[in-house]
Structure 1
Amino acid sequence: MPRSGSGKELLRCLEFVARTHHRDFNEAAVLAGLPLENHDLTPSVFERAAQRLKLASKIVQRSVEDINPALLPAIVLLTNNRACVVHSIDKAKGSAEVIYPELNDAATEIALDDIAEQANGYIIYCRPEFDFDKRADDTFKANHRHWFWGVIRENRKLYKDVLIAALLINIFALAMPLFVMNVYDRVVPNQATETLWVLAVGAFVAITADMVLRLMRTWYVDLAANRTDVKVSSSILQRVLAMRMADAPQATGSFVSGIQGFESVRQFFSSASVNALVDLPFVVFFIAVIAIINPYLALPIIVGALLLFLHALATQHKMRSMAEDSMRASAMRNASLVEAVGSLALVKTFNGQSKAQATWEKSTIYISRSAARMRVLSASLATSGTWIQQTVAISMIIIGVYLVIAGNLTVGGIIAAYLLSSRAMAPIGQAASLLGQYHTAATAMKSLNDVMARESEGNDDASKQSKPILNGHIQFKNVSFAYSNDTPEALSNVSFEINPGEKVAILGRNGSGKSSITRLIMGLYHPQKGQVRVDNIDLQQINLTQLRRNIGYLPQDADLMFGTIQDNITMPSETLHAEQLVQVANQVGLANVTNRYPDGLNHMIQERGRNVSGGQRQLIALARALINDPPMIILDEPTGSLDHSSEDQLKRTLLENTKVKTLIVVTHKTSMLDLVERIIVVDSGKIVADGKKDDVLHALRSGRVGAG
C-alpha cells in the first residue's frame, strides 16, 4: 500500500471529490473511529473514509498518462507525501486541470509530463454509489452489507479461483487410477513398454499439476482468510467503540470472550476446512466415474456415505448444545478472571481469593468436561468414518472379484475403483470431522451478530449537522431519562437553560441525577423523553465527535489509559505543541507531580491509573479536560481527591481561564462555589431550585430547599 504522509492533503482531495459528486462533507463523521496516523488520513484507510460518503473507491498502480478520463476526477498520490486531484485531461494539448489542496480548490492547468514527474505511480478512483430515495420500496432496496458475509463476497474472485483449482485437482485425481487400470489391463498383457512410458509421462504431468494446484488453492484460501481477518477484526472493534453507552456490556469479561470467538470463525474458514468443503461436491463425480467402470462398485460408496451422513446427523443436536454451553461457561470464566484481576486489591483486602478461585475452577471443570465430550463425539465421527471407508474398500474388492470371475470387470478396473473410492470417501469423512468446529464457529457467530447489531452512536453519519465550533448554549427541555428499562428514572421532566459563558454549579444528594445531566450533555446517553440541545441543535442531530471536541469533561471517575502521562493528557488533542502541554500541566498543578519522576510527563501509567494516587489521577484527568482550550467545561467533582493546596491552584486556574467559557461544576464542596454565579439544585431526578448563587444558598440554609 502506498503511503501519503500529508493526510490533510489527502483529506482535502477527498472533500473536493465528494463535493464534485454532490456529497455533504463532514470531516468529523468521515474520520470518526478510523485508525489514523498522527490524526491524518492515509491511503490504507482511504476506502473506509470514502464509503462513509457513499463513494466507491479503489487504489490502482497506474501512470498519469493512463488515467481513464471517464473516471475523473481522480486523486493522484505524489512524491514527498503529497496528493492532488486531476479534474480533467486534454490529451490533444498534453495537459490536465489539477487541484492542489494548498490552493483552496483553485484549478491549475499543468502539463501531463510535469504531473507524471511528481506522481508516485498510484491513482485513487472514486465513483458515487447509487442512492435509493424515499420513493423506492424497501423490498427493492439493496440489502445492508453483512459485517462478515459482505467481506467474504469481496473476495469472491479468490474463492472462484479456489473452485476452479478444486475442479482441476479432482479431474487430475483420475490420472493415477486410470494409469494403473491401463497398465494392468493393456500394458502388462501386451508387454507394451512404449505405451507404459507414454502413460507414465502423462501421469507424472498430472500429479505435478495437481501439486501446483493444491499449493495455489491453499495460498488463495489463506489470502482470502487473511484479508477477511483484517477487515472483520477492524469492523468488530469499530462497532464496539461506536456503540451507545446504553448498550455497553454489563460484564466486560464475558463480552470480550464473545468477541474472541471470532478466532473460531476465522479458523473454520482456514485452508483445511475450506478445502474439505470445496471437495465435497466432487464425491458425486467420483461415484459417477466408478459407476462407469461398473455400476455395482458404486453401491458400497453410496451406502457408506449414507451411513456416515446419518451418524453425523444423529450427533448434531448434542454437539450444538455442548458448543453453546461451553461458550457460555467460557464467557463466565473470562468474566470472573477480568473482575478478579481488575479488582485485585479489593479481592485481597476482603479475602475474596477463595470465592474467585472457586468460580474459576467450577467454570474450568465444566468447560473441560464439555470439551472432552465434544472431542469424543468428533472422534466417533472420525473413527466411524475411517471404519466405513475401510469397509467400503473391502466391499468393493469383494464385489469386484465376483465381477472379474463373471467376466464383467478387469483386475485393473478393481484397482482403479479402489483408488477412486478413497477419493470419494475422504471429503465425506473430513466434512464429518469438521462438525464440531462448525458448531463452535456457529455459536461464536451468533454472539458476534449480537455485538454487530448493537446500535451505533452514528459519529460516522455524514448526514448529521457539522458544528466544528460551539458557543456553549445548553438547553434541557422536559427531559426524562433512565439508564435501562428496569431501573427508576435518574431524571424526571427536567428543564433548564445555560447561556454561553455562564458559570453554573449543580448540587444535590448522592444519586440525585447530577452526573446523569453531565452524561446527557456529553451525548453518552439519550433521554427517553424530551430534548437536550446545544446551540439550539438537538444532540441526536449533531456529530458527537465535534460536540466532545468542544467540551472539556472531567467525569466523576477519573479513569486513565495505559501509556505515558503525556499520552493520557493529549488523548483528545489532534495537534499539540509541547509548550501547550507544559502550560496546562503547570496550570492544574500537575507539574508538582511530574517533577518527582525522572521521566516527567513520559512516566508510564498502568491500566486505569493503578500506579498513581487518586489525586494524581484527578490532576491528569483535569489536564486532559483543559488541553484543547474548549469553549465548554464540565467538571464532575473536580476536587474530590485533591488537597487544599491543589484545590486552591485549580480554582485560580479556572477563574483565569473560564472568563468567556461555559462552566458547569458538579460538587459537594462549598469552596468550589466561588467559581459560579448560578446554582441548580437536583433532588430525586428533579430540579428543586435554580437561581442566582446567593439566593439559592440562602434558601438552602433556611431549609426551604433540600440538597446534599
Structure 2
Amino acid sequence: MTGSGENAKGSSAPGDLNDALARLRGRVAEMQNAPDPRYADLGPASHPIADLHRLALLWRHAHANDFTPPEPGETLPGPATIAVVAEKLGLEVFWETMSLDSLSAGETPAVVLLGDGTSRLVVSRPRDEAFQLMGPNGLYIVAVKALDAAATGTVFRIQQLPGHHVAQHADEVVEAEAAPQTSAPVTMLSARQLILQALRGQGSRIVHLCVASALINLLGLALPMFSMAVFDRVIPHAAFDTLWALAIGVSLALLLELGLRHARLKLFDAVGLSAAFDLQGRLASRLLFAPPGNLPRAAGAILPGSQELEALAQIAPQLIVSLVVDVPFFVLLMIFIGAIGGPIVLAPIIGVAALVAAHALAHHMAHRSHATQLTEARRQIQVLLDSIGGIERIRATGAGRRFLSVWEQIFDRAGFAAHQNRYWHGLSAQISAVLVQAVIVAAVVIGVFRIDASGMTIGALSACTLLVNRALMPVSMLTGLVFRLIQGLEAIAQVAPLMNTPAEAGGDGQALPASGIRGKIDLHHVSFHYPGETRLALREISLVIRPGEKIGIIGKAGCGKSSLLKLIARLAEPSDGRIGIDDRDIRQFDPAELRKALSYMPQEAQLLDLTLHDNLTIGLPPVSQEQFDRITRLCGVHDFASNHPSGYSLPVGQGGQRLSGGERQSVSLARALMGNPATLMLDEPTSALDNGLEARVIAELKREIGATGLVVATHRLPVLALVDRIIWMDQGRIVADGPKDQVFAKLGLAA
C-alpha cells in the first residue's frame, strides 16, 4: 500500500495491516478489565491520530487548538484514515511490520502500535538500548526492549511532505486581509505514474517475483534437455536406467516449478491487492476530501475508471516482472536455440514480430470501439443510478417506458462496442495461438533440412521445438499485457484528474484554528456559477453578518439563497470576490473545522445509511446525554424515535428512506444544533414539517439558540419570527437588506 500522503505506505499487503488492526481491536476489548503490567513503564497512553498532531506541532505544521482529540476508547483508525489525517497535517506516512530493535535513528520519528490498542511516538534513538518518546507531558526515555515487548510490530514512519514549508504562529502567517492564497505546487501524475507510485513500496516483493520467475524459466529448460537426452542418448543405446534417472529428475523439476508458480501466483495477488488498495483509497479520499469544484458531477463519470483500477493494479506487477525477466530470458533462449539449431532461431524471431504486429493491429482496430464502450458504460451506470434513486417518481409519472427505451439504446450501443472490442482481442489471441504452432512447424521443417545435412541431431530438433514454444508463450502473454494496460490506462484517465486533486485545506496547509470563531462573516463582491454553467447564480454579493446576528434570507425559488449558504459553509468556491471569517480570508481555516463552527443544514435532508443515533452525532465531539435529549425533543426526533422498537438504534436506510420527509428534516435540524456552533446556517429548516411541529420547533429554537448566530433561508413566514434582519434576493442579487420591519414594509407585509 503506497502513496504520497494519500495512503499509508508499507511493505505488506493492506489486508495484512487491516487484519492486524482488527485483531488488535479485539485484544484491546479483552484487556480492558485485565491491565497488562508490560505497559506500565512506557509512559502515558496515546492514540495514532494524537501522535500525528503532536509531531505536526513539533514541526510547527499545526496549532494546538485546531485538533479534535480522539474520544476515550475510540477504535484504532485504518491506514487510509491515518494517511488522510497525516496529509492534512503536512506529513507523509510509511507503514511496515518490523522489530523495534531494527528501528534506526534515521527511521524516526515513528508511531508504534502497542498490544493494548494505544500508541507511542518515537522521536529519536539517542542510544542503541533506548528510544526517546514524546507524550502529552513532554519527552522521556524508554528502553528499546521494553517497548519492543509491548509492540505489535506495526510501525508508522513519518516524514514531512515534500514542499511543505514550516509554519509560524497564526499572527505571523496571516498577512494583510486581502493577501492572495497560495498553495504548494501539486505534481500532476498521469494514470501510468499513479500505478507505479502505488507499487513503490512493493520493491522487495517484486524482487521475489523476479527471482521466482527466473527460476521458473530456468526449470523450464529441464523438459527440452530431457527430450534431447532421450532421443540422442537413451533410445540409441536402450539406456533404461538413464531414462528412469532422467524421468525422476525432470519430474522433480516440474514439481518444483509448480510450487514456484503457486508461490508466484500468491505474491502477484498480494502485490496487486496492495496497489489496488492504495489506488482505491486514494480515489475514495479524494471523493471525500477534494475541494467542491473538483468533484465529478455524476457518479457514472468515474465508476468505470474506478472499476478498472483493481484490474490494472493486478496487471502492472505482472508486466514489470515479465519485462525484467521474460524479455532477457527470451534473448538467452534465442542464443541457446541458435547454438544447437542454427537457422532455426529465425523462426521464433519472425514469429515474435508477427505476434506483436497481430496484437498491435487488434488494439488499433479495437481502440475506437473501446472509447465508445467507456462512454456508453458511464451513461449506462448513470441511467441505472437515476432509475434506482428516482424509482417512485418514475412510476408516479409513468416515465418507465421512456427510461427503458433509453436503457435499451445505451445498452445496444455499449453491447455492440463491447462485441467489437472482444472480437478484435479474441481474434488476436486466436492468431497468436496459430502463429505459435506455425513457428513450431517452421522450426521442424528447418530442423529436418539441418538433420539431413548432418547439422544437428533429432534430439536437438526435439529440444529446439520445445524451446521455441517455451520462448513464444511468455512473449505472447507480455504483448497482450502491454496492450491491455494501454487500454486500461485510457479507462482510468477519467479518474486521474480527481486522484491528483489535493485534499481541501486552509492557509496553504497551515490551517488556522476554527474553535475560536466568533461568527463574523463578510462577503466582498462575491459572484458564483455552478461547474459547467455560464449563468451566474450569485452576482456581486457584498454583505456583513455580525456575530450572534439573526438573519433571514428570502426570495423566489432560484434566486441564490441556497448558493449563498453553500459558499459561506465552503461547500462551494466563489467564482469571483472574497469571503472573510472574523476578518480573515475563509481559505485560511481548515474546511472541516470551519463547518463545525458554521453548522450548515442543507435544503434536502439526505441521511447516511447508519443508525438514527449515528446520523445525529457522527463527526461531532462528544455530546452529553442531557444535550442530546434536549435537542432531539426540540426538533421532534424524540417523538418518532421513542415510539419505535429500535429507538435511536433504528437503521434509517440509504438516504434516510425508512423515514418520512418530515422526520428526515427533523434529524437534519437536530444534527445542525448538536455541535454547539458559532453560527447556524439553515436552508428551509421547516419546509417538510407539519404546522403544529413547525410552531413548536420555532418557539423552542428561539430559546435554544440564544447568542448563537443564525442565517436561515426560507419561504415560510413563521420561520422569520426567529430573525431580526432580512435579506431579500432576486436573480442572484441582494434587492433589500435591513431590519425586518423595514424590509417587510417594502414587501407590504406586517412584521
Does TM-score exceed 0.5, indicating one fold? yes
CA displacement at 1:324 relative to structure 2: 1.2
For the structure 1 residues 110 and 244, does the alpha-carbon distance in structure 2 shift closer, same or farther, using more than 3 Å as the test? Answer: closer
2:56 to 18, 28, 43: 18
* Paired position in structure 1 for 2:3: none
Question: Which residue, out of 648, 655, 658, partners 1:611?
Answer: 658
Distance in 2, matches of 1:222 and 1:143, equals 29
Farther off after superposition, 473-482 or 682-691: 682-691
The farther-off stretch of 376-385 and 250-259 is 250-259
Q: Confirm whether residue 534 of structure 1 aligns to residue 562 of structure 2.
A: no
- 1:160 aligns with one of 197, 207, 221: 207
Provide the TM-score with structure 1 as the length reference.
0.88
Alignment-mate amino acid for residue 17 of structure 1: L
Count of equivalent residues: 689
Unaligned runs of 5+ in 1: 135-140, 704-708
Inter-partner Cα distance in structure 2 for 1:302 and 1:317: 23
Q: Which residue of 1 aligns with 2:422?
A: 375
1:601 Cα deviation from its structure 2 partner: 1.9
How far off is 1:474 after superposition? 0.5
1:447 is paired with a residue whose SS is coil
1:321 corresponds to which of 348, 368, 372: 368
Instruction: Compare 216-225 and 441-450 and name the one that shifted more.
Output: 441-450
Quick one: distance in 2 between partners of 1:358 and 1:291?
62
| Residue 197 (structure 1) shift | 5.8
1:126 and 2:161 matched: no
Q: Distance in 1 between matches of 2:165 and 2:246?
A: 65
2:91 aligned partner:
54
- 1:440-519 to 2 correspondences below 5 Å: 440-454=487-501, 456-458=503-505, 462-484=509-531, 486-519=533-566
Deviations along 1:24-57, one digit per CA (max 9) or x if unpaired, are: 135899999x9x9958646775455445533454
Q: Is the 8 A contact 1:632 1:661 kept in 2?
A: yes
Other-structure match for 2:359 = 312
Aligned to 2:116: 80
Residues 116-195 of structure 1: matches in 2 within 5 Å?
Answer: 119-120=151-152, 123-128=155-160, 131=163, 146-190=193-237
Letter in 2 for 1:172: L
Match of 1:261 among 266, 286, 308: 308
Shift of the alpha carbon at 1:522?
0.5
Structure 1 residues 96 and 157: alpha-carbon distance in aligned structure 2, compared to 1, 3 A threshold: closer
Aligned-partner residue type, residue 300 of structure 2: G
CA offsets per residue over residues 341-399 of structure 1, 9 Å max, x none? 11111111111111111111222222222222222222322222222222222222222
Q: What does the per-residue CA deviation read over 1:624-665, in whole Å, with 9 as the maximum and x for residues that have no partner?
A: 111112111011111111122111221122211221111111
Q: In structure 2, what is the Cα distance between the partners aligned to 1:154 and 1:31?
A: 31
| CA shift for structure 1 position 493 | 1.4
CA gap of 1:661–1:78, structure 2 versus 1, over 3 A, is same
Q: Is the contact made by 1:333 and 1:359 (CA closer than 8 Å) also made in structure 2?
A: no
Shift of 1:124: 4.4
- 1:86-97 mapped onto 2 (5 Å cutoff): 86-87=122-123
Partner amino acid for 1:604? P
Q: 1:162 to 1:668 in 2, by over 3 A?
A: same
Contact 2:679/2:710 (<8 A) preserved = yes
CA contact (8 A) 1:28 1:545 kept: no
- TM-superposed deviation, 1:167: 2.2
Go from structure 1 to structure 2 and tell me whether the alpha carbon gap of 1:153 and 1:83 turns closer, same or farther (over 3 Å shift): closer
**What is the DSSP-based 3-state SS (H/G/I as helix, E as strand, rest coil) of the residue aligned with 1:552?**
strand
1:156-555, aligned counterparts within 5 Å? 156-190=203-237, 196=243, 199-200=246-247, 202-266=249-313, 268-269=315-316, 279-434=326-481, 437-438=484-485, 440-454=487-501, 456-458=503-505, 462-484=509-531, 486-555=533-602
Distance 1:245 1:653 in 2: 34
Q: Distance in 2 between matches of 1:269 and 1:205?
A: 31
The residue aligned with 1:643 is: 690
Q: Distance in 2 between matches of 1:381 and 1:346?
A: 47
Map of 2:736 onto structure 1: 689
Structure 1 residue 160: Cα displacement:
2.5
Question: C-alpha deviations, 1:135-189, integer Å up to 9, x for none?
Answer: xxxxxx9966643321122223322322232222222222221222123223443
- Shift of the 436–659 alpha-carbon distance from structure 1 to 2, 3 Å rule, reads same
> Is it true that 1:9 corresponds to 2:44 in the alignment?
no
**Which amino acid counterpart does residue 648 of structure 2 have in structure 1?**
L
CA deviation after TM superposition for structure 1 residue 509, in Å? 1.9
Q: Which stretch shows the higher mean deviation, 678-687 or 351-360?
A: 678-687
**Cα deviation digits, residues 206-254 of structure 1 (max 9, x gap):** 3343233222322221110011111111111111222333344333334
Shift of 1:291: 0.9
Q: Hey, what's the Cα distance between the residues in 2 that align with 1:412 and 1:577?
A: 86
Q: Which moved more, 1:452-461 or 1:692-701?
A: 452-461
CA RMSD of aligned residues (A): 3.4
State the Cα distance separating 1:533 from its structure 2 match.
0.9
Give the conservation status (yes or no) of the 8 Å contact 2:112–2:119.
Answer: yes
The change in CA–CA distance for 1:281 and 1:143 in structure 2 (over 3 A counts) is: farther
Instruction: Give the aligned residue type for 1:237.
Output: A
The residue type equivalent to 2:297 in the other structure is: Q
Partner amino acid, structure 1, of 2:360: L
The 3 A distance-change label for structure 1 pair 39 and 620 is farther
Q: Output one character per residue of 1:102-139: Cα deviation in whole Å (capped at 9) or x when no partner.
A: xx32x3456666656655555544344664879xxxxx
Distance 1:98 1:369, change over 3 A: closer
Change (3 A) 1:72 1:361: closer
Please tell me the residue identity of whatever aligns with 2:121.
Answer: V
Distance in 1 separating the partners of 2:280 and 2:595? 26
Distance 1:89 1:568, change over 3 A: closer
Rounded to whole Å, the distance in 2 between the matches of 1:573 and 1:287 is 67
5+ long unaligned stretches in structure 2 = 1-16, 29-44, 167-184
Gap change, CA 1:436 and 1:72, over 3 Å in 2: closer
1:579 deviates by 3.9
Matched residue, 1:568: 615
Evaluate the alpha carbon distance shift between residue 261 and residue 666 of structure 1 in structure 2; reply closer, same or farther with a 3 A threshold. Answer: same
- After superposition, the C-alpha distances for 1:638-696 in whole angstroms (9 at most, x for unaligned) are 11111221112211222112211111111222222221111122222222222222222
Pick closer, same or farther for the CA change 1:275–1:219 going to 2, 3 Å. farther
Could you say which residue in structure 2 is the equivalent of 1:138?
A: none
The separation in 2 between residues aligned to 1:416 and 1:287, in whole angstroms, is 13
